[in-house]
Structure 1
């Protein structure tokens, strides 16, 4: 990433025209080819920008100090530098991505610690119960001693129900566990996923992450 702080003016020519008069600004040139111009306000939102793919040409000679950014549609962002206050480049590498609070691993850990929120008398067998096609998030027993397999998602969609169905098919072949019923648990369950789960005899549980953390009432809604 290249960071340039400069007194500059900016002109955009494309489907419309726009002009930013001279002022000190931050210019970001990212490895993906995007160029954005920022003021010292507006939070993350730039004053103007050019999304990738685009090319940046820095002028020379009489055009020195003029940057021309052109995208594949032929639109132009022309940055005229009057005074460069800072210019540095930094290799950031591949970003690991945002780790959100309440991702599936956190939900799994919290629900395992408070397995009784699935119902009175529930007990944990283990987390990450391994099968031939992958681990079941939680395997537990209900108050009657029946085996329950729980698949946990942040957002419950049809593919999650399909995944749990495959696990149940394998688990029910084990005479030490069968019969095994399923619970599909998520912070949000899509209507189509709920219909499919109900059709296959799988229960649905809407998880309240804050409640599992003890911030609010720890009720788990079972449908």
Structure 2
């Protein structure tokens, strides 16, 4: 049976010792987010001190710890994965010590005031990168229904007298679908190329349709696909369609469970 859980839960800061105990238990499996007024001391290959200020502290299950302020991407202070962090309550004030031994480094955080503490179950995943046309092609090949429901892949890089077709699909009625993929705004030349492929297959007596996949189209390209009956699928639309496919699979699996 699947159990639905909230992503985050808030920890009370009324009892300092109890809060430290809860955080020490949670750090092994959850991401801890603390917002409050803190002072920071770093001892290691150098020595630094950050005076009191309102900041965000992130502690992840892999041991990494980051302290952020209101600007910049880079943290003000940080400790890498596999660091060891320990929460404590000293003189009724929450503190955390994060350290590693090789090289020896310590990050000491003193919480003068705590605004809130969240314990969150955050996913660990791999980033889907689609910087190249080949990345988009692979994504479509793995999910041909993102172009048309129940379609199957015939092949990729299909040679013709006019160049290579990125993806060739076939629908339930054995009609062919030629997919041209671009990783940047597609212009009239991309549509003309797709049109040549369509005319080539049509001249051989085959039923064929065309699809252009791109982040966007120029005005001229948009006008031409309307005239030629070519379908345009934006990259965002493609990704959302794939997410819907996996959401449907998950919902079906959940229902069956």
In the superposition, the TM-score normalised over structure 1's length comes to: 0.51
Output the CA distance in 2 between the equivalents of 1:208 and 1:60.
Answer: 57
| Alignment of 1:47 onto 2:76 | yes
CA distance in 1, matches of 2:165, 2:57: 52
Number of residue pairs aligned between Structure 1 and Structure 2: 137
Deviation for aligned residue 1:25? 0.2
Q: Describe the shift of the 1:4–1:109 C-alpha distance in structure 2 as closer, same or farther (beyond 3 A).
A: closer
Residues 10 and 20 of structure 1 are in contact (CA less than 8 Å); yes or no, is this contact kept in structure 2? yes
User: 1:214 is matched with which residue?
Assistant: 186
Deviation (angstroms), 1:55: 0.6
The aligned counterpart of 1:70 is: 99
Deviation at 1:29, TM superposition (A): 0.7
* Contact residue 58 and residue 64 of structure 1 kept, 8 A: no
Normalized per residue, the structure richer in strand is 1
Q: In the aligned structure 2, how far is the partner of 1:69 from the partner of 1:63?
A: 19
Query: Given the superposition, is the C-alpha separation of residues 84 and 30 from structure 1 closer, same or farther in structure 2, using an over 3 Å criterion?
Result: same
Q: For residues 173-212 of structure 1, what are the structure 2 equivalents within 5 Å?
A: 209-210=183-184
List gaps (5 residues or longer) in structure 2: 1-30, 141-151, 168-180, 194-257
Instruction: Output the CA distance in 2 between the equivalents of 1:71 and 1:58.
Output: 15
Aligned to 2:52: 22
Which of 60, 64, 67 is matched with 2:89 structurally? 60
Aligned partners of 2:43 and 2:124: how far apart in 1?
32
- 1:164 is matched with which residue? none
Aligned-residue offset at 1:66: 1.9
String of CA shifts for 1:105-146, please: whole Å, max 9, x gaps: 425799xxxxxxxxxxxxxxx9652xxxxxxx3222225xxx
> Given that residues 130 and 136 in structure 2 are in contact (C-alpha distance below 8 angstroms), is that contact kept between their aligned partners in structure 1?
no
- For residues 120-159 of structure 1, what are the structure 2 equivalents within 5 Å? 129=155, 137-143=156-162
Query: C-alpha deviations, 1:162-187, integer Å up to 9, x for none?
Result: xxxxxxxxxxxxxxxxxxxxxxxxxx
Following superposition, the deviation at residue 52 of structure 1 comes to: 1.2
Partner secondary structure for residue 104 of structure 1:
helix
Give the match's secondary structure for 2:136. Answer: helix
C-alpha displacement at 1:33, in angstroms?
A: 1.1
Show CA shifts across 1:74-118 (max 9, x none): 2000001100001011101332424435453425799xxxxxxxx
Take 1:79 and 1:19, find their aligned partners in 2: how far apart are those partners? 10
Q: Deviations over 1:136-162 (max 9, x none)?
A: x3222225xxx96979xxxxxxxxxxx
TM-score when scaled to structure 2?
A: 0.45
| C-alpha distance 60-34 of structure 1, shift in aligned 2 (>3 A) | same
